[in-house]
Amino acid sequence: MIHPASLQPQGDHVLLEARNLTRILPALVPVTLVEDVSFHVGEAEFVAITGPSGSGKSSLLYLLGLLDRPTSGEVRIDGAPTHALSSAEMAHLRLEKLGFVFQFHFLLPEFTALENVMIPMQRLGKRSAVQQQDHARGLLAALGLEEFQHRRPDQLSGGQRQRVAVARALANSPSLILADEPTGSLDSAATEQVFESLQKIVKTDRTTVVAVTHDLDLAARMDRRIHLVDGRIDYDRHR
């Protein structure tokens, strides 16, 4: 659970590694989405992936999150290769070690905020029903949503819905959050709320966040920026 603490120094542990990742869409004229991308990310890093439209940002994030398979190269999570995993094994690894936040929250409309946050825990099955509920309440409270836990998504603002999505991504205590344009559909006030929520996760829990964003002002406030052009890394800079 998120708790107050100061920013701790980044450790040496490599949490996520991309090794010569290439993704080519087969077609009469093949389309290269990502080409020979290599980098690694450690604990408690807040990383922005930026680039112009069509540069391969989301394609790269889907490869890193094991939502797509590379044409060549590999992704390693906690030092373990993933290229030989079955689809079922990848799904379990995603559920256990990764959390996802997308541009649109994808909350289930018939469930309350609390129930939406509990869904990943129910799927993983490592906590009792009481533990799931307590943990979900704690996550919502830490993100300033305690009083909204029994509201359905249509009773929440855009920023509130996206913060519920962040809480859901944290439900199974992942070491890595992958976010695809998490503020892309929000106004400036809600954007700041969601950004601060993600920043707090990095600072207090040492959870790594890798976020695709077109918002260069937000990218400039993150620890590191990986900029793509035409599917390749143009530069990789720390702030």
pLDDT tens-digit profile of 26-81?
A: 988 899 999 999 999 999 999 999 999 999 999 999 999 999 999 999 999 999 99
Domain containing 133: what range? 14-238
Q: Which of 175, 166, 168, 228 lies closest to 195, judged by CA?
A: 166
In a domain, 209, yes or no: yes
Structurally, the chain folds into a number of domains equal to 1
Residue 50 and residue 227 in contact, taking contact as beta carbons nearer than 8 Å: yes
Q: What is the pLDDT of residues 85-100, one digit of tens each?
A: 999 999 999 999 999 9
In DSSP terms, which residues pair with 217 in a beta bridge?
Answer: none
In a domain, 217, yes or no: yes
In a domain, 134, yes or no: yes
DSSP three-state, residue 20: strand
Q: What is the pairing mode between strands 14-25 and 31-42?
A: antiparallel
Give the pTM: 0.89
CATH label of the domain that carries residue 200: 3.40.50.300
Q: What contacts 108, CB < 8 A, 6 or more positions away?
A: 115, 116, 119, 153
In a domain, 6, yes or no: no
* Residue 2 predicted with pLDDT over 60: no
In a domain, 1, yes or no: no
Q: How far apart are CA 180 and CA 162, in angstroms?
A: 12
